[in-house]
Amino acid sequence: MTEISHEMYEDENRLIAERRQKLSQLRNQGNPFPNGFKPQNNSTDLHLNYEQFGKEELAEKNIPAVVSGRMMLKRVMGKASFATLADSKGRIQAYLSKEKLGEDVYEAFKHYDIGDIIGVSGTLMKTKTGELTVDAKEVKLISKGIRPLPEKFHGLSDQEQRYRQRYLDLIMNDESKDIFIKRSKIIRVIRETLEAQDYLEVETPMMHVIPGGATAKPFVTHHNALDMPLYLRVAPELYLKRLIVGGLGRVFEINRNFRNEGLSTRHNPEFTMIELYESYADYKRMMEITEELVRNSAKIACNSLVINYQDKTVDLEQPFDRLTITEAILKYNPELNINQLTDIGFLKAEIKKLTRHEPETDSLAVLQLLLFEENTEHKLWNPTFIMDHPIETSPLARQSDDRPGITERFELFVVGRELANGYSELNDPEDQADRFRQQVEQKDAGDEEAMHYDADYIRALEYGMPPTGGLGIGIDRLVMLLTNAASIRDVILFPHMRPE
């Protein structure tokens, strides 16, 4: 431990001890955590409704205000004091005087600490500097804070501490609170957009008998009563498509998914997605819905379709670019030509040069995808749909009628990362059964992310599923984009962390 951190640790312990002593004294006088105080106003509404009035006008109107919040700032000036209170909406100042509160109450207030939650009743006034303020007639301690808040000039700057102690991050950093308010608004507008188009929100199981719906490594748990393993879902896809078979023509689920994979600035073991399915639709219709959902989310979060992300502009207003895998490689790597992209030997050599690993496949489409992932994906800044994925990497997508080996599938990339995935769904039960068998062969060969054979899903398809379009959008990554967040941990309230 450094000398500075040791001193800070000692200071914190001293302050905690002092506050515990105050708490003990308060307990002797009554309950320092009383119920019963009911705030009648919040800071934002007070500023919106009364900021425009002048000092004399407010004095004439004698407007009552009852507020509560965490005391973030305190200035004691003899017989009068100022306190800044933070509530769930913002901040409001209170003016406290010995004359109006009485000597005993005012003296008690002087011993309140930064971080305490207090309630104030009074009338609105403006100070000499024009700041809207509650002129207190009553003040009450509602909840005593034992731990001191971080020092006001430096705030809570340790990134790991912000993730571990999100409650403290929300107290100290208005920017963090704003991210999660925007996240809620984004999810709400996605719901409203889909419900306006006759989509039905549903809930499907989070514990599966077999994992499915995506190629990913699952988390495994155990059901004691049934004495059997269960898997936390990697995706709800197969259950949602069962509902399409059942006649629910348009369904969506905003869901938590769990994948037992690595951690990074864009990966968390549990994450949120919106998945939706529409009968008698295809992947082109899904691209249209994707654009609509992204734009509506940007309007509510940013009030603009031209946004800033990490000091670069992202244009969401123009139609999203639509490119095949080979078109994207050629557009963003002008030194390459189409003859090279149809040469298996060249592709293998190029991929090995970039990854230092020899590709094991001889599939032209898969090799083109592997090259795209290495030399093009990170260059896709403005929204770009990458279409026509190989059948080998798309076990649930419908194969193109006129291009064997290619599926009607897209992925949306923005700021160099995948944001959405959609396709025309495979509704041929025999074709789907064959794809599952191929996945099982890959799993038997050691691929931990390959799918299991889902016999019940095949049985559902055998009853007949209409042509269907499906879409999944990563909510966390969408929020990252629209709040200018560099890491997925910035947009998840309680991201996964190693134990302290």
pLDDT in tens, 429-472: 999 999 999 999 988 888 888 888 999 999 999 999 999 999 99
Mean pLDDT of 308-320: 97
Give the CATH number for residue 434: 3.30.930.10
Whether residue 136 sits in one domain with residue 183: no
Beta partners for residue 120, in sequence order: 67, 139
Let me know if residue 264 belongs to a domain. yes
Question: Is position 418 annotated in a ligand binding site?
Answer: yes
- Whole-number pLDDT of residue 340: 97
Pair (56, 189) in one structural domain: no
Provide the pLDDT for residue 274.
98
Which domain, by its residues, includes 115? 3-149
Q: Are 224 and 250 in contact (CB under 8 A)?
A: no
Please check whether residues 82 and 16 belong to one and the same domain: yes
Question: Phi/psi zone of residue 128: left (φ > 0), alpha (ψ -120 to 50 degrees), beta?
Answer: alpha
- Quick one: pLDDT at residue 226? 94
Tokens of 476: 């966390």
Task: Provide the token pair at 100.
Answer: 């109006």
Task: Tell me whether residue 432 is in a domain.
Answer: yes
Q: Are residues 50 and 144 in the same domain?
A: yes
What pLDDT, on a 0 to 100 scale, did the predictor assign at position 427? 97
Choice between 446 and 91, residue whose per-residue pLDDT is larger: 91
Does residue 499 lie in a domain region?
no
Q: In terms of C-beta distances under 8 Å and separation of at least 24 residues, what long-range contacts does 402-411 make, across chains too?
A: 405/363, 405/365, 406/365, 408/282, 408/283, 409/283, 410/283, 410/286, 410/287, 410/322, 410/385, 410/386, 411/385, 411/386
pLDDT digits (tens, 9 = 90+) for 92-112: 999 999 999 999 999 999 999
Residues facing residue 274 across a β-bridge: 254, 473
User: pLDDT tens-digit profile of 46-55?
Assistant: 999 999 999 9
Whether the CB-CB separation of 410 and 323 falls below 8 Å is answered with no
Predicted confidence (pLDDT) per residue in 57-89, tens digit: 999 999 999 999 999 999 999 999 999 999 999
pLDDT value of residue 1:
45
Same domain flag for 141 and 184:
no
Q: Which of 7, 369, 366, 422 is nearest to 237 (CA)?
A: 422
Question: Across residues 235-256, what is the average pLDDT?
Answer: 97
Look at residue 75 in the predicted model and tell me its pLDDT: 96
51 annotated ligand binder: no
Q: Say whether both 393 and 427 belong to one domain.
A: yes
pLDDT at 443: 85
User: Could you report the per-residue pLDDT of 364-417, keeping only the tens digit for each?
Assistant: 999 999 999 999 999 999 999 999 999 999 999 999 999 999 999 999 999 999
pLDDT at 499: 86
81 and 120 housed in the same domain: yes
CA 232/CA 241 separation, integer angstroms: 18
Structure tokens at 413: 């990339």
Report d(CA 85, CA 90) in Å as an integer.
8
Same domain, 305 and 451: yes
Asked if residue 103 and residue 141 are part of one domain, the reply reads yes
For position 158, what pLDDT does the model report? 81
| Segment 461-487 mean pLDDT | 98
Q: Residue 7: give its domain's CATH number.
A: 2.40.50.140
What is the model's pLDDT at position 7? 66
**pLDDT tier for residue 153 given thresholds of 50, 70 and 90:** very low
Tell whether 373 is covered by a domain: no
Look at residue 254 and tell me whether its pLDDT is greater than 60: yes
Summary mean pLDDT of the chain: 94
Q: Is pLDDT at 352 greater than 90 in this prediction?
A: yes
pLDDT of residue 279: 98
Q: Does residue 182 belong to any structural domain of this protein? A: yes
* Tally of structural domains, the chain: 2
The residue-averaged pLDDT of 206-212 equals: 92
